[in-house]
Amino acid sequence: MTKDSSTPMVTVHEVARVAGVSAATVSRFLNGTARVSEDKRRAIEGVIERLNYKPNVLARNLKTGSSRTVGVLTQSLVSGYFADALAGVDDALQGTGYAPLIVSGHWHADEEAERIELLIARRVDGLVILSGNLKDAQILKLSQRVPIVAFGRRLEGTRAYGFCLDNYRGACDAVEHLLAHGHRDIAFITGPSDHADALARLAGYRDTLARHGILEQPQLVLPADFDESSGLAAVERLLASGQRFSAIFAANDLSAYGARLALYRRDIRVPDDVSVVGFDDLHSSMYTTPPLTTVRQPLFDVGRCLGRAILAMIGGEKMAREMPELSLVVRESVRRVA
Amino acid sequence: MTKDSSTPMVTVHEVARVAGVSAATVSRFLNGTARVSEDKRRAIEGVIERLNYKPNVLARNLKTGSSRTVGVLTQSLVSGYFADALAGVDDALQGTGYAPLIVSGHWHADEEAERIELLIARRVDGLVILSGNLKDAQILKLSQRVPIVAFGRRLEGTRAYGFCLDNYRGACDAVEHLLAHGHRDIAFITGPSDHADALARLAGYRDTLARHGILEQPQLVLPADFDESSGLAAVERLLASGQRFSAIFAANDLSAYGARLALYRRDIRVPDDVSVVGFDDLHSSMYTTPPLTTVRQPLFDVGRCLGRAILAMIGGEKMAREMPELSLVVRESVRRVA
DNA sequence: TTGAAAGCGCTACCAG
DNA sequence: CTGGTAGCGCTTTCAA
């Protein structure tokens, strides 16, 4: 262990000695753990200032058994979707003394479990889990070791809580919007079939059509993977099939982008020839051409709720359970048809 | 300090006692600090397994004075630009025992300085700084306390190193490309005037025109701020001015998106009526309509270089100084004109 | 309100 | 190759 000569490494004891008090008193002053008389308080303050004393977080961590850190499991650092939620968590933690420790699981259960172990090994005080492929049971088990708040799964335990937004409802709104604009032949670009949100959106699509007495056309349901390239491929297949359709509802914005490009390549105009609706409302959807009508997921707010919730759990307080809602944001990618 | 009853908190001493060796030996085994005889080694392994012993990182951190953590200062969590670099840093750190501690400075020098202090207080072993508004001198000063690797500024010190990509050259390439396609009236959407990269790109634009004997038209240089809305506004102003132009070179992809939307709103086709070139090559640029021709910044690789570099510095090794290069990626937003 | 002292769990020095 | 031991810098009883 090299002692940094430029940093004299001043300790509580040093401060205490110079201020003519005990280390305990300095500690009490620092943490507000107990009353400290006015004169000593002032003396300590002065010495801290003069010596430029900074408490050693590492020592405090060892003593208190906490790292003042919350682990955040995301699936991808480069996804606009997760990035928003991350920013929300970060925002909630700001100024609380807690810092987020972010790891990425890449939608792979094993990797997620491994990263979480790393987080626990680092003694995070709480865990925020953003989607992923872990089983609810695994998370419940994990929550015996550390409090957990999750997004993208419904969960209820003493030290675990998880919630979803109403994806089904969001999808219904999107399809209703298309229907209200006269569309009947609506294609749906699905998400991964093992993804709960994707499934809920598919169900919303199906049920809404059914509710309106519209027979589902299986050829209009196009498998894809929540990304641009699969959205593009899906629509290319659709176009090749010769199926009639006047609108596309994509299970997320990324696949809507891909769909839009496939249309563009065939000189099919949006919304003049085909209407498109997405899901998520990524930042960029406001600036696509045309700006995309989509179901907004308020992910920053979600992240903030998660951050606040895990803080509450760590502090042993009751956490707020209100969560933000989905909402359709109407832009310019849908046109009324006869 | 609450003792978690579900976790009996087994220590080195416990392991040592059960294995019939000393704590020191267990520690040596754990860290490979010294040879441990085969029999003791096996005994220890068994006990660790049986007791499910996990070393307490917090104690190790205190003892070694290191948190095995590298601080990463980014400017925005939600920017695709920074996200890529972050992912690169994360990738470089993977499996090294170091974890990134990510904070965001939001392009505000004060906030950046504050976050960095927090990072140092948490005893990060190194710092990666992604752009920002801190002065080089401040960073050099900081580097006395912790080794630093920075991106977006040229820096050279014993414990600090910073590098830029050749933005000037990238801009030259972009303009050359436009010129080669017959464009002469090329508008330029600038970035923030206090941003070095933005300035370098502007200089590249200017010099390339000059080199080709083209007089710069000041009305074609449009101030903007590296985001969609200012790019949009810039082109709206340009359009309103009635200035002739056949191409737009945007200082970054985001402003190119905004420009593209402004054009769309006026029914000006890209690339048929106006060609557009961006800078950065965000993921989404592959799926805009049309896909955007742009100067690629290999940010993931940059991040990886940064990660490796800071690790090398921390380890006292010599760091590699080769950095990735910019390159023009030609897609579909530029058309040849007469 | 204050101080002395006992560790938190680990690593590393020093003997052997 | 191994064990004893002395802390890392802090917080927190316990007693005064």
pLDDT mean over B300-308: 97
Cis status, amide bond into A192, omega within 30 of 0: no
pLDDT mean over B302-317: 95
Domain membership of residue B331 (yes or no) is: no
Return the pLDDT at B338: 81
Task: Tell whether B144 and B115 lie within a shared domain.
Answer: yes
CB pairs under 8 A between A and B: 120
Task: Tell whether B160 and B171 lie within a shared domain.
Answer: no
Return the pLDDT at B4: 40
- What is the per-residue pLDDT across B168-204, written as a single tens digit (0 to 9) for each? 999 999 999 999 999 999 999 999 999 999 999 999 9
Domain membership of residue B275 (yes or no) is: yes
Task: Tell whether A262 and A304 lie within a shared domain.
Answer: no
Q: Is B106 on the interface with A (CB under 8 A)?
A: no
Task: Tell whether B25 and B75 lie within a shared domain.
Answer: no
Residue A2, pLDDT > 60, answer no
Residue A70, pLDDT > 80, answer yes
Domain membership of residue A332 (yes or no) is: no
Residue A26, pLDDT > 80, answer yes
Domain membership of residue A4 (yes or no) is: no
Domain membership of residue B7 (yes or no) is: no
Return the pLDDT at A338: 80
Answer whether B226's CB lies under 8 Å from B251's CB: yes
Task: Tell whether B283 and B304 lie within a shared domain.
Answer: no
Domain range for B96 is 67-165+299-324
Task: Tell whether A147 and A36 lie within a shared domain.
Answer: no
Task: Tell whether B174 and B290 lie within a shared domain.
Answer: yes
Return the pLDDT at A320: 85
Residue A144, pLDDT > 60, answer yes
Q: What is the mean pLDDT of chain B?
A: 95
Among A58, A75, A227, A252, the strongest candidate for a mutation testing the B interface, having the largest count of B CBs within 10 A, is: A58
The number of angstroms, rounded, from the C-alpha of B135 to the middle of its chain's C-alpha atoms is 18
pLDDT band at residue A34, thresholds of 50, 70 and 90? Answer: confident
Which of B's residues 109-148 have CB atoms within 7 A of nucleic strand D? none
Domain membership of residue B240 (yes or no) is: yes
Task: Tell whether B283 and B175 lie within a shared domain.
Answer: yes
Residues whose CB falls within 8 Å of the CB of residue B291, separated by 6 or more in sequence, listed in order: A261, B285, B331, B332, B333
What CATH code is carried by the domain that includes residue B25? 1.10.260.40
d(CA A272, CA B193): 40
Task: Tell whether B290 and B177 lie within a shared domain.
Answer: yes
- Cβ–Cβ of A123/B58 closer than 8 Å? yes
Which residues in chain B (33-92) have CB-CB distances under 8 A to chain A?
A: 54, 56-59, 61-65, 67, 76-80, 83-84, 86-87, 90
Among B2, B54, B58, the strongest candidate for a mutation testing the A interface, having the largest count of A CBs within 10 A, is: B58
Task: Tell whether A288 and A305 lie within a shared domain.
Answer: no
Domain membership of residue B80 (yes or no) is: yes
pLDDT mean over A294-317: 96
Task: Tell whether B258 and B200 lie within a shared domain.
Answer: yes
Range of weakest confidence among A191-205, B167-181, B264-278, B308-322: B308-322
Domain membership of residue B89 (yes or no) is: yes
- What is the per-residue pLDDT across B11-40, written as a single tens digit (0 to 9) for each? 999 999 999 999 999 999 999 988 899 999
Return the pLDDT at B323: 86
What CATH code is carried by the domain that includes residue B97? 3.40.50.2300
Residue B6, pLDDT > 90, answer no
Task: Tell whether B185 and B121 lie within a shared domain.
Answer: no
- What is the per-residue pLDDT across B88-135, written as a single tens digit (0 to 9) for each? 999 999 999 999 999 999 999 999 999 999 999 999 999 999 999 999
Which residue, A63, A81, A103, sits at the end of a domain?
Answer: A63
Residue B249, pLDDT > 80, answer yes
Return the pLDDT at B319: 87
Q: Which bases along strand C come within 7 Å of a protein CB atom?
A: 1-13
- What is the per-residue pLDDT across A87-129, written as a single tens digit (0 to 9) for each? 999 999 999 999 999 999 999 999 999 999 999 999 999 999 9
Return the pLDDT at B8: 62
Return the pLDDT at B178: 98
Give chain B's domain count.
3
Q: In what order do the strands lie in the sheet with B148-151?
A: B99-104, B69-74, B126-130, B148-151, B160-163, B155-156
Q: Give backbone dihedrals phi and psi of B127, rounded to 5 degrees, phi first.
A: -135, 135
Q: Is B230 on the interface with A (CB under 8 A)?
A: no
Range of weakest confidence among A82-96, A180-194, A264-278, B28-42: B28-42
